[in-house]
Amino acid sequence: MIRKLSLLNSRSKYYIYVGGALWILFILFFINRNLSDNLASANNGNDYSIYNEYDNYEYEIEDTPPKLPQHPERNLTELSIKNHTTYLKIIDHMLHNQTKPQNDINSEIYNTIFDNHDVDTVLGTLSFTQRCDLYFKNVFADNVNWFFSPDKNYDVKFNTDEYKEYMEINEERFKEEFKPKLKKLKNGEKNKAYQNFLHDKYRDYMNPRIDQDIINQLTMFRIFNKCYITNDEVSQINQMDNFITTQQKLVHEENPKPESLQLTEKESLVDLMTSKSATFENRMYPWLSKEYPVYQRYTGKVYNEPPNYHDILKDPFQKTSKQIKSSNQLPNQPFLQKFKNKCNGKGIVLSIANKYVEYTVQLIHLLRALDNRLPIQIVYYDDVSEESKRKIVTAAQEDFKTLPESFQKVSHFFDSDYLDKNSKGLRPQEVWFVNAYNAIHKNYRGKFERFGNKLLATIFTSFDEFMLIDADTVMIQPPEYFFNLEQYKETGAYFFKDRTVNRRPTTDGVYMEKMAPATIDSIMFDIPIMTNYTRSREFFKGLQHYMESGLVMLNKNIHLNSILMISQINFFKPITGKVYGEKELFWLGFAMNGDENYYFDTNFAAAVGHITPPDDRIRDDGSPHHSQEICSPHPGHVSGEDNHTLLWINSGFRFCHQADEVDFEQEAEKKTRFKFLKDAEAFKKYYYEPLRISHAIVPPLDEKLENRKNNEQEPENGWFWEYDYCRRHTLCGYSRIGGKQKLATDKDNTLEGLLVTYNDDEIALFNYLGDIWVGME
């Protein structure tokens, strides 16, 4: 028995020892496994610090910047995947027969993305939101402190170490290049000329880098706006779903099972979080204060956010039609998205300062005469005084019973309710004052001056649909007419062309095309490239002034992102330096945003007024000219729908809006124009009276913007700038240009424009509106 018990005890000890050993091994294995996992987790960037010098962690460190090349050329960014099968297939599917951009320059962020990720993975597996996040992960992975600086100076600076180094590297070659020019220079000129030569070389070297910086910024704007500002709009959501689905089918035809996306170490360190859009907005729009403008009704009542015109005015036409997916409206959604969703209704918008108050009063009178029923917002920048407001409100609300005598000839044109039944006269106007001052961050309030105020008005008006006008814009048709234009209703953006007077370098057009979306923008985010719809416009051929921005029709529901782009490009002097004021920024801002859903009235601006008497224009042989002429300080706009209807004119309704500054004695002595005015008093009277319109001339424009030289003493181009009258504001337009090039032959290069003759009823209406504007009884 004792022996059996001893044997049992020995076996029990054996099993206990073996079991204990196995348990210890299991514990050691478990510890080792978990330690390895934790290290791996640290190496994936969860708890690991890239700054811990004791850990063996291989993080992607930026290489030392390469030495400057020994030549002045710099290449703008070329995408590394342009020959990839998937890329080419999608491009072919998307562009069809469209002309590919000659300058297809992409943001450098794309190069980083596609250097690290396969094309099939990005395009074949990522949703729209995931693509947005990937793009901005790479923006901040490259520079965690990135933000757009409105103060950045894009001029080439010469007092830098890079300039010195560049000159040292290329000194011998530059001296050889400059030698032939030395022979033509005097000794005192040589050093200065050589320095200018070196500066030009450095400029040529640096400009591509500056251009690339601007392209990087513009790309970021258009992607951010689409990803985080308008991403709650049902129309965009549906469009992007279809876009991604179609694209991924194309990818899967080539690669049925693309690999899933694996973030790089750099990308994984950027946590965008749920508040990404609101956070990014601070970086994209640092000039926004995130405060709403102050909206004040003519009654004095103040609203601290966009007013609901449907509720306030009880006007069914002010009801909004926007469709927003409410689930996307997060508590921390971007300010611009919240503001967009609060906008409503339609109306008239103008931006003024105190000095334009008299023009505004006359405009209000005109709107009453046109029986306008839309609300008016006057957007300003804390520079409209209380006295100015009183003048405007008085003009809008006071009884307007005394009408000019010219009303008698047009009274039958208007509805029975044209005059108020309570004898108040013309319909009062619903006026609102919008102070945008607090909506701009205090550090950037000096960035929106003069023309910039007008751009602010496009953002901070609370209307979904609006007519943006200048204070000196004169509508000949009621505002509702413009909102009902078919092309406006189809596109949501209706623009007008300017006078075809001056020329510009064609390189300006090349530059603007370079700023437009690249093909990869289209592939990644469905942002269209610039097409011939934009590129074929005369601006790109060398016409200096293409758009007249005195009246612009916009639908913010459709074009908010383009409106935001316009405000942003206002900060880029290399762009704004090539245009006058804000005139071209509207349509070029659209095109740079990949938005060609805009329409230009087909007619360029016209000369409006009276035809110059034939006897005042006699050729050397005593015969009158074949062409007709109108000399006027006012550009007018004749509808392209019927080539007849006068829509609006600019520069007020007084014949010479500069009359207060004119020396009438000198004006009368010139005797080259307006020969029916015999003395200074006659000039003064004519200049202060309303412009009288009987005709309009839309001058012809040569397809190549060339002059039509001829031997018949006919005009060679459509406009002649008559500097001697109305303080250089008079231009003469011609109904035809060109003629026989040699009198003995039949070779004739005549080009006809558009001559419009108005009937008595139309002239009577023009006279009535002119009398209202000027204040004649």
pLDDT in tens, 416-427: 999 987 778 999
Average pLDDT of span 712-738: 96
567, burial (CB in 10 Å: exposed 0-12, middle 13-18, buried 19+) = buried
Which of 325-334, 639-648, 718-727 has the weakest average pLDDT?
Answer: 325-334
Q: What pLDDT, on the 0 to 100 scale, is given for residue 2?
A: 42
Q: What pLDDT, on the 0 to 100 scale, is given for residue 43?
A: 38
Q: What pLDDT, on the 0 to 100 scale, is given for residue 46?
A: 46
Express each pLDDT in 292-316 by its tens digit. Answer: 999 999 999 999 999 999 999 998 8
Express each pLDDT in 65-87 by its tens digit. Answer: 334 444 445 566 778 888 899 99
**pLDDT band with cut points at 50, 70 and 90 for residue 101:** confident
Which string of b and e fits 619-647 if b means at least 16 CB within 10 Å? eeeeeebbbbbbbbbbbbbbbbeeeebbb
Q: What is the enclosing helix (H) or strand (E) of 736?
A: strand 736-737
The answer to whether the beta carbons of residues 460 and 436 sit under 8 Å apart is yes
The answer to whether residue 32 scores a pLDDT higher than 60 is no
Q: What pLDDT, on the 0 to 100 scale, is given for residue 330?
A: 60
**pLDDT band with cut points at 50, 70 and 90 for residue 22:** low
DSSP output for 384-431: --HHHHHHHHHHHHS-B----GGGGGTGGGS-TTSEETTTTEEPP--E
**pLDDT band with cut points at 50, 70 and 90 for residue 450:** low
More confident of the two residues 9 and 223: 223
More confident of the two residues 604 and 322: 604
Express each pLDDT in 138-178 by its tens digit. Answer: 999 888 889 999 999 888 777 778 888 888 888 888 888 88
The answer to whether the beta carbons of residues 424 and 287 sit under 8 Å apart is no
The answer to whether residue 690 scores a pLDDT higher than 50 is yes
Q: What pLDDT, on the 0 to 100 scale, is given for residue 276?
A: 62
Distance (Å, rounded) from C-alpha 333 to C-alpha 340?
11
Distance (Å, rounded) from C-alpha 376 to C-alpha 118?
53
Q: What pLDDT, on the 0 to 100 scale, is given for residue 130?
A: 96
Whole-number percent of the chain with pLDDT over 70: 88
Q: What pLDDT, on the 0 to 100 scale, is given for residue 174?
A: 86
Query: What's the mean pLDDT when you consider all of the chain?
Result: 88
Query: Which CA distances in Å does 406 have to 401, 687, 763?
Result: 14, 19, 11
**pLDDT band with cut points at 50, 70 and 90 for residue 275:** low
**pLDDT band with cut points at 50, 70 and 90 for residue 1:** very low
Whole-number percent of the chain with pLDDT over 90: 69
Q: What pLDDT, on the 0 to 100 scale, is given for residue 215?
A: 96
Q: What pLDDT, on the 0 to 100 scale, is given for residue 707?
A: 96
Q: Is 567 helix (H, G, I), strand (E, B) or coil?
A: helix
Express each pLDDT in 731-763 by its tens digit. Answer: 999 999 999 988 767 789 999 999 999 999 999
Q: What pLDDT, on the 0 to 100 scale, is given for residue 220?
A: 96
Q: What pLDDT, on the 0 to 100 scale, is given for residue 78?
A: 74
Q: Is 210 helix (H, G, I), strand (E, B) or coil?
A: helix
Express each pLDDT in 46-70 by its tens digit. Answer: 454 545 444 443 434 333 333 444 4
Which two tokens mark 340? Answer: 């967009």
Domains of the chain (ranges, CATH numbers) = 283-600 (3.90.550), 606-764 (no CATH)
Which two tokens mark 364? Answer: 């209000």
More confident of the two residues 554 and 11: 554
Q: What pLDDT, on the 0 to 100 scale, is given for residue 41?
A: 35
Query: Which CA distances in Å does 204 have to 12, 43, 166?
Result: 91, 45, 12
Q: Is 272 helix (H, G, I), strand (E, B) or coil?
A: coil
299, burial (CB in 10 Å: exposed 0-12, middle 13-18, buried 19+) = exposed
Please provide the distance, in angstroms rounded to a whole number, between the alpha carbons at the two ends of the chain.
Answer: 140
